[in-house]
Chains A and B, each alone.
Chain A
């Protein structure tokens, strides 16, 4: 009897294992987040025993795109890929993806109306959603309340304007007996993302044609006072020794400066909220978070959603596309979104997820997560804060990074840096193919 039962079980299992659809999910989230994602996918597989998902951490956003291109050209594309926000136009032009909108239209169980409009607006191009928004973040001002108290700054009144920011930085500077700066005001990674954010914060577009949203962008339009405000600040802070600059896009170095209490303030992604909450506790200082300070006398526009989204790649076998859609849909559900939000700081991208967290009183205990969300929700919604859509976005960012580095090393003035960034960015947009 037992034997017969076992045989049947084995037979069923064999059939099941043959019927399993295997899909690959590539992501770019290193460190402790590898495990978080694996656990979320494991939960998905428990709910969908007929689907087997192979999760792979492929490296940085740049590496993942490079590897995706080789995989597609080799004829073995992965099924679901996480790419950063600036890859959007490139992927739309690629012809190798299944637009998520097509799958949403066919799937009555999926209600895209529950997603935050701020997030949807970024990823919708020409009214169509091409990828599933997933890990969304914006920049945030982090500051060390303990250090603020020590130097006589009000820990509950973080700087809101550039002049207040410079003032606070000056107070935070500490020198040793030889006059060397051992502690200073602020840092943020040397990355053009912050430049873009400061354009949107002053309600200015980055490129023409409504930030590339009504027609393809033909040139950048950032060579103006708004950009100069930000570059002047960056330049002043650096020249006065109030800021430490990192290498290009070195997020880890910026965080490390803040965690080691070498700087009193940090502008970084909201995806660092969870990490910095933990680290500040370990280092024994009180963490504060605030909206980004504005240039004096300007009106607040808003922040732009950054981070990444999930893309579904075209496959020969339709069953695999269906399985990929199921996975993508699952990862955007309130449950996984809440897990993801708590573990990292990336926004829960759905209204119902935020509601659940509010009801549970999560934000009373975790005010930093709330600062992050409020900054996004209170942002003016228009083309400027929806973010730019540019095919050659990585090159545009690079042009800005390069010019900023030249400004910081004293080769260029802020105005010259803007001119050079504009010239190189326009060249890249023209050459995009």
Chain B
């Protein structure tokens, strides 16, 4: 675009400076409106209706969808399972990854190889991770049961019995989310100023104290970020792992909110009800995000 054309289009330079940024934002906003805001409002709108399978008939039911969800024992169970599953996965994953990052930060021979090995699960998609663990935990041909039989003489139906289905799921999810957290912790550890560490050594702090009183507070912004990210991934991206590994079973034992949403929306085509579930999840995520922005910046120690 020649300069003259630009001037013709946007007038003088001051006007151009005002309009031009908005013009650049248009493509982004188009995408966001089309793929995020419109579906979100659509879901909000649909959540007040009972909609027939192909969407040809709809009745306004007010808040009935929400009411029936909160009086549905299965839905409340799913809320409960989501909390337990997300809580366990996030807590274990955060502490384990911090610990692993500390180890990987040591200058030992072959640390690069260990790092690569630990990062490998990150390159695998959730669905593939689920399928891998599905194979490994297969009661008949799975390696886990093969080893268990040889070593301890026990056989477990990992994916079809309580409580092992939940254990398997939590284990696989941690395995999958661990590398992401480790990468971030490693980066954070490397930015811990060496003067502080040296000073603490001179002052005679034990290594236990150094880790929990100095390093952990110093990397707290990353911890906070990782907690939020892990909550989001354990709540939403867990769908693929659950679908591939347990299909929410046995019974509704491993059905979390996202899997319940999938069942109601895509298996049973209850569009109104599924939209209501969607709105509830949206609100939950909103709360998490608001917490992140209000408390995150204030409470966490930034250098």
B141 and A95 contacting across the interface, CB-CB below 8 Å = no
Q: Which residue of A lies closest to B255 (CB)?
A: A402
B252 and A244 contacting across the interface, CB-CB below 8 Å = no
Q: Which residue of B lies closest to A177 (CB)?
A: B153
Contact partner of B141 (CB less than 8 A), chosen from A72, A190, A260, A395, is A260
A257 and B140 contacting across the interface, CB-CB below 8 Å = yes
Contact partner of B153 (CB less than 8 A), chosen from A178, A245, A260, is A178
Docked Cα-Cα span, A246 to B249, in Å, equals 11
Q: How many chain-A residues does the 8 Å CB contact rule pick out? A: 43
User: What are the residues of chain B within 8 A of A392 when measuring CB–CB?
Assistant: 268
Q: Which residue of B lies closest to A392 (CB)?
A: B268
Against A, the Cβ 8 Å flags (1 = close, 0 = not) of B37-75 are 000000000000011111111010000000000000000
B266 and A248 contacting across the interface, CB-CB below 8 Å = no
Q: Which residue of B lies closest to A72 (CB)?
A: B54
Contact partner of B251 (CB less than 8 A), chosen from A178, A394, A405, is A405
Q: Answer yes or no: A65 CB below 8 A from chain B CBs.
A: yes
Docked Cα-Cα span, A411 to B252, in Å, equals 12
A247 and B139 contacting across the interface, CB-CB below 8 Å = no
Q: Which residue of B lies closest to A97 (CB)?
A: B54
- Classify the interface of chain B: helix, strand, loop or mixed: loop
Smallest CB separation, A85 vs chain B (Å): 16
B139 and A94 contacting across the interface, CB-CB below 8 Å = no
Smallest CB separation, B262 vs chain A (Å): 10
B160 and A246 contacting across the interface, CB-CB below 8 Å = yes
User: What are the residues of chain A within 8 A of B155 when measuring CB–CB?
Assistant: 180-181
Q: Answer yes or no: A7 CB below 8 A from chain B CBs.
A: no
B252 and A94 contacting across the interface, CB-CB below 8 Å = no
Contact partner of B140 (CB less than 8 A), chosen from A256, A402, A403, A431, is A256
Q: Answer yes or no: A415 CB below 8 A from chain B CBs.
A: no
User: What are the residues of chain B within 8 A of A411 when measuring CB–CB?
Assistant: 162, 251
User: What are the residues of chain B within 8 A of A256 when measuring CB–CB?
Assistant: 140-141
Smallest CB separation, B80 vs chain A (Å): 16
Docked Cα-Cα span, A260 to B51, in Å, equals 46
Docked Cα-Cα span, A401 to B149, in Å, equals 30
Docked Cα-Cα span, A269 to B168, in Å, equals 30
Contact partner of A402 (CB less than 8 A), chosen from B251, B268, B269, is B251
Which residues of A, 235-289, contact B by the 8 Å Cβ criterion? 244-249, 253, 256-257, 260, 262
In the complex with contacts A94-B53, A95-B56, A406-B268 CB distance below 8 A:
no
A262 and B159 contacting across the interface, CB-CB below 8 Å = no
B52 and A93 contacting across the interface, CB-CB below 8 Å = yes
Docked Cα-Cα span, A244 to B156, in Å, equals 12
User: What are the residues of chain B within 8 A of A253 when measuring CB–CB?
Assistant: 138
Smallest CB separation, A99 vs chain B (Å): 15
Q: Which residue of B lies closest to A187 (CB)?
A: B140
User: What are the residues of chain A within 8 A of B247 when measuring CB–CB?
Assistant: 247-249
User: What are the residues of chain B within 8 A of A65 when measuring CB–CB?
Assistant: 269
Which residues of A, 370-404, contact B by the 8 Å Cβ criterion? 392, 394-395, 398, 401-403
User: What are the residues of chain B within 8 A of A248 when measuring CB–CB?
Assistant: 247-249
Q: Answer yes or no: B161 CB below 8 A from chain A CBs.
A: yes
Q: Answer yes or no: B246 CB below 8 A from chain A CBs.
A: yes
Docked Cα-Cα span, A247 to B162, in Å, equals 13
B250 and A405 contacting across the interface, CB-CB below 8 Å = yes
Smallest CB separation, B190 vs chain A (Å): 43
Against A, the Cβ 8 Å flags (1 = close, 0 = not) of B96-122 are 000000000000000000000000000
Q: Answer yes or no: B299 CB below 8 A from chain A CBs.
A: no
In the complex with contacts A247-B160, A247-B247, A394-B267 CB distance below 8 A:
yes
A402 and B52 contacting across the interface, CB-CB below 8 Å = no
Smallest CB separation, A255 vs chain B (Å): 12
Q: Which residue of B lies closest to A412 (CB)?
A: B251
Sample 30 A-B pairs with CB under 8 A, ordered by A number. A62-B266, A65-B269, A66-B266, A69-B53, A69-B55, A69-B269, A94-B53, A96-B54, A178-B149, A178-B153, A180-B149, A180-B154, A244-B139, A244-B140, A244-B157, A247-B159, A248-B247, A249-B247, A253-B138, A256-B140, A256-B141, A257-B140, A262-B140, A398-B263, A402-B249, A405-B251, A408-B160, A409-B250, A411-B162, A433-B51
Residues of B within 8 A of A (CB): 50-57, 59, 138-141, 149, 153-155, 157, 159-162, 246-253, 263, 266-270
Since A247-B246, A405-B249, A433-B51 are in contact, a sample of 17 more A-B pairs with Cβ atoms closer than 8 Å, ordered by chain A residue number, is A69-B55, A90-B53, A94-B53, A94-B54, A178-B153, A179-B153, A245-B157, A248-B249, A256-B140, A260-B140, A395-B268, A403-B251, A408-B160, A409-B251, A409-B253, A428-B268, A433-B52
